[in-house]
């Protein structure tokens, strides 16, 4: 069935539905990963967004539940050039089309994804709407009004949960503040002998410190880090940093920790979303290829890591605590920076 993507600048692209059918509005962004589409779909950092894959062939290895980064789809809708109808993989448990239908997620295929990518790169991310008929002027006006609000509260866990280390021998206890956490973060810690306690985003500093953690992990998540709804989290982070506990922030966790230390954040023109982002560690000069998914960046000229492409801040070091903008758990993406989890554990010991 024919479907249309209408952008707030008046551009209209024609394609076909797959997955669920209907109408949905969101912020249109692109992701450049050639693989990892399941991790992308189930990453809650995409809350409020319509995600387009720049790689043209998506769904080739089907649906593999163990690869999910959360129980739910984070994106509001999904755009690809060619969805694979007959996936081939020994782990495959279904097609992408059926997966989206089961979760009532609208998909759009067959549009010129190269043209859409260029529009976003030249004009910046913008709102869009997938619809079953060409838009009227009033539709464009409504699309412009859309905004992502209360993002962290919408995706964070509602109760405290615990994950035991892989070998059942607890070396460290880590409190993970869940702002939309990818499962890969807790898995990386558990693989290193950590008992991981996952806390909802609005947990107080007192409650977290009461369980006597060796370290505190701040997870990834969606939305504008400087949104007023995050003010309470930022205050909690200020309180936590007054303790002697080592803190490690990833992605949104990095941004919120920076805000709690007086830094500012800014919205990027089209963000970094993919598994091929080069970052340089300032202290060593070494360049790593990283997995990233963010539309905002910390404004800082004293970063511990910088993005090689655009020079934006990719990390901050506070001495005992530190944070990075990219994803060292590499789900999905390269394993170049997984050593940062070992650095976290080492600093806990000190």
Tokens of 343: 């650095």
Q: Can you give the length of the chain in residues?
A: 350
Q: Report the C-alpha gap between 230 and 236 in whole angstroms.
A: 10
Tracing tokens 């205050």 back to the chain, one arrives at: 235
Question: Which of 294, 326, 293, 298 is CA-nearest to residue 312?
Answer: 298
Measured CA angle at 295 (ends 292, 296), to 5 deg: 105
Question: Which of 151, 126, 150 is CA-nearest to residue 140?
Answer: 126
Q: Which residues are catalytic?
A: 251, 327, 329
Q: Report the C-alpha gap between 209 and 126 in whole angstroms.
A: 40
Report residue 90 CA to chain centroid gap. 27
Count CA atoms within 13 Å of residue 225 on its CB side.
Answer: 29
Q: Which residues contact 193 (CB under 8 A, 6 or more apart)?
A: 165, 166, 167, 169, 170, 171, 172
């Amino acid at each position: 069935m024919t479907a249309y993507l209408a952008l707030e600048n008046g551009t209209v692209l024609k394609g076909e539905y797959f997955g669920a059918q209907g109408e949905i509005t969101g912020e249109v962004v692109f992701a450049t990963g050639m693989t990892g589409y399941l991790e992308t779909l189930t990453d809650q950092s995409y809350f409020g967004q319509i995600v387009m894959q720049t790689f043209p062939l998506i769904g080739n290895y089907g649906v593999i539940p163990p690869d999910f980064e959360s129980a739910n789809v984070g994106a509001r809708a999904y755009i690809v050039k060619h969805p694979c109808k007959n996936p081939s993989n020994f782990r495959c448990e279904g097609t992408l089309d059926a997966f989206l239908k089961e979760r009532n997620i609208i998909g759009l295929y067959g549009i010129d994804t190269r043209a859409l990518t260029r529009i976003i790169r030249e004009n910046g991310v913008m709102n869009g709407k997938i619809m079953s008929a060409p838009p009227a002027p009033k539709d464009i006006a409504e699309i412009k009004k859309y905004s992502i609000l209360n993002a962290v509260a919408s995706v964070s866990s509602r109760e405290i949960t615990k994950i035991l280390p892989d070998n059942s021998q607890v070396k460290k206890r880590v409190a993970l503040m869940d702002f939309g956490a990818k499962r890969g973060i807790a898995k990386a810690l558990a693989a290193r002998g950590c008992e991981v306690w996952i806390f909802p985003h609005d947990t107080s500093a007192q409650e977290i410190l009461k369980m006597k953690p060796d370290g505190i992990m701040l997870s990834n998540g969606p939305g504008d880090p400087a949104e007023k709804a995050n003010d309470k989290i930022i205050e909690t982070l200020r309180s936590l940093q007054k303790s002697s506990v080592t803190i490690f922030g990833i992605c949104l966790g990095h941004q919120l920790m920076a805000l709690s230390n007086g830094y500012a954040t800014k919205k990027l023109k089209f963000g970094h979303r993919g598994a091929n982002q080069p970052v340089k560690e300032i202290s060593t000069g070494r360049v790593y290829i990283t997995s990233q998914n963010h539309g905002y960046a910390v404004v800082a000229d004293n970063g511990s890591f910088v993005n090689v492409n655009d020079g934006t801040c990719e990390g901050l070091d506070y001495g005992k605590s530190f944070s990075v903008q990219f994803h060292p758990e590499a789900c999905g993406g390269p394993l170049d920076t997984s050593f940062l989890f070992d650095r976290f554990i080492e600093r806990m010991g000190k």
